[in-house]
Amino acid sequence: MPYYIQRGNIPPKRHTQFKKSDGSLYSEQLFSTEGFSNDYTLLYHYHPPTQIIKTDAAVNVTPVIAEEKMLHHRCFETFNIKPVPDFLESRKPLLVNRDCMVTVAAPEKSMENYFYKNADADELLFIHEGNGILHTQYGDLYFQYGDYIVIPRGTIYQISFQNNSNRLLIVESFSPIRFPKKYVSKNGQLLEHSPYTERDLKVPEFKEPVDAKGDFLIQTKKQGMLYGVHYAHHPFDVIGWDGCCYPYILSIHDFEPITGRVHQPPPIHLTFEANNFVICSFVPRLYDYHPLAIPAPYNHSNIDSDEVLYYVDGDFMSRKNVSRGMITLHPAGIPHGPHPGAVEKSIGKKETRELAVMVDTFHPLQLTETAINIENKGYVMSWAE
């Protein structure tokens, strides 16, 4: 979990009277993604966060599944997806299972006329290209290339992009996205051996509350439907808050790699975890230093998990013909490893400059129609050269 913080003005004791200057009460809201049994935050609004004035007809945004089962390696060229102006319309799901959804997005414009809330899933936004500000009830988060933005489900947000060239990898998780248990003490502190610490986290910069009345549209995603819900007051009317449940940023550039004398297994790259899947970071690092070390990864069998690798930047010595934004999918059940010649080529190399994000899922992934349309059909035969 993120550590406890407080921002703005809050009463000295929770669930007690907290009055405005005119004697009326601020409205307290408990925000938690797991009922009343886990991390939470208390927010104090100028107005009750319940004043809905109208709703729009729901729109079905469930991804269309094109292929449910597979047993061969796949590759997808995500930069072949054309940018579109709107943030929500730009989100294109590619890989889906019961635990998560892997999506890419190339929005050209900021969210100006609406806010967004995912009521089903925590969201992890990886910023491949672009920068800007994530506006929330908790404050602003300033993001840039290489940032992971972790957004708890139910968070109302609005994104301002600095320009019209933006590429995002988005992972929606139907369970909370957490720090890996092996990195966290029994009291919740990131441990000494963790590849990142609390110092590396960027937390919201609190802003003055927006006390405004009107018609504020919050596009809310729930069970594959998008509902237009209109509120009577601006959702960022928060005078203060405290707790452990809020959006935050960790940069992939602040992930400190773990190395060894011989090649280390993929769990050293572990960055986040959720139910039945993990997210890992491959970052520039020194290679193995045993005199007979083979820096290239050994062949390995995916028996328990589908492996998704999103290539960000740099040279990938285990793969040929890698392009920025490429996604490879190596499904459970068959082995995979370096391309022909990669093992021999890696011997004697001292470091790698690769940058990539990996998602390993423990239930099989399904392919959407969008994924099929951007597939590199020849990838499956690239080991047969």
Reading the chain (385 residues) residue by residue, the pLDDT tens digits are 689 999 999 999 999 999 999 999 999 999 998 888 889 999 999 999 999 999 999 999 999 999 888 888 999 999 999 999 999 999 999 999 999 999 999 999 999 899 999 999 999 999 999 999 999 999 999 999 999 999 999 999 999 999 999 999 999 999 999 999 999 999 899 999 999 999 999 999 999 999 999 999 999 999 999 999 999 999 999 999 999 999 999 999 999 999 989 988 889 999 999 999 999 999 999 888 899 988 888 888 878 899 999 999 987 766 767 889 999 999 998 888 888 888 888 888 888 889 999 999 999 999 999 999 999 998 888 878 6
Report the alpha-carbon distance of residue 108 to residue 100 in Å, rounded: 25
Note whether 287 and 206 are same-domain residues. Answer: no
Residues 102 and 169 in one domain: yes
Domain annotation covers residue 46: no
d(CA 285, CA 352): 6
Give the closest residue to 7 by CA, choosing from 345, 341, 241. 241
8 A C-beta contact, residue 157 and residue 98: no
The reply to whether 73 falls in a domain is no
Same domain, 186 and 278: no
- Beta strands per DSSP E along 174-269: 201-202, 213-222, 225-233, 238-243, 248-251
Do 229 and 273 reside in the same domain of the chain? no
| Residue 172 and residue 287 in one domain | no
Are residues 221 and 267 part of one domain?
no
* Largest Cα span, the chain: 77
- Within-domain flag for 22: no
> What are the structure tokens assigned to 338, written together?
């370096």
Judge residue 172's burial from the number of C-beta atoms within 10 Å of its C-beta, 0-12 exposed, 13-18 middle, 19 or more buried.
buried
| Per-residue pLDDT at 369 | 96
Q: How far apart are CA 261 and CA 214, in angstroms?
A: 62
Identify whether residues 118 and 218 lie together within a single domain.
yes
Calpha distance 97→120 (Å, rounded): 14
Asked, for residue 23, whether it belongs to a domain, the answer is no
- Looking at the fold, whether 172 and 320 belong to one and the same domain comes out as no
pLDDT at 318: 63
For 218: left if phi > 0, alpha if psi spans -120 to 50, otherwise beta; the answer is beta
Structural domain contains residue 160:
yes
Domain boundary among 191, 223, 252: 252
pLDDT for position 322: 83
333 occurs within a structural domain: yes
β-bridge mates for residue 26, sequence order: none
Sign of the torsion angle spanned by Cα atoms 184, 187, 188, 189: negative
Q: Domain boundary at 185, 218, 252, which?
A: 252
Is the same domain home to 197 and 273?
no
Residue 35: per-residue pLDDT: 83
CB 280 within 8 A of CB 271: yes
Domain count, the chain: 2
207 and 308 in a single domain? The answer is: no
Q: Where residue 349 sits, what CATH number does that domain have?
A: 2.60.120.10
Report d(CA 72, CA 95) in Å as an integer. 15
DSSP labels, 164-177: S--EEEEEEESS--
Is the residue at 321 inside a domain?
yes
Q: What are the C-alpha distances in Å from 338 to residues 139, 311, 316, 344, 345?
A: 44, 15, 10, 10, 11
Cα distance between residue 169 and residue 123, in whole Å: 10
Write out the residue range of the structural domain in which residue 339 sits: 257-381
Count CB neighbours of 288 within 10 A: 19
Give the residue from 195, 223, 252 where a domain finishes. 252
Tokens, residue 293 = 């070390």
Q: How many CB atoms lie within 10 A of CB 116?
A: 21
**Start-to-end C-alpha separation, the chain:** 46
Do 223 and 264 share a structural domain?
Answer: no
Q: Indicate the pairing of strand 277-282 with strand 355-361.
A: antiparallel
Name the nearest CA neighbour of 108 among 25, 165, 23.
Answer: 165
CA 46, 160, 116, 205 dihedral sign is negative
Tokens of 32: 């938690």
146, 193: one domain: yes
> What local confidence, expressed as pLDDT, does residue 373 receive?
96
**Global pTM value:** 0.96
User: Is 30 contained in some domain?
Assistant: no
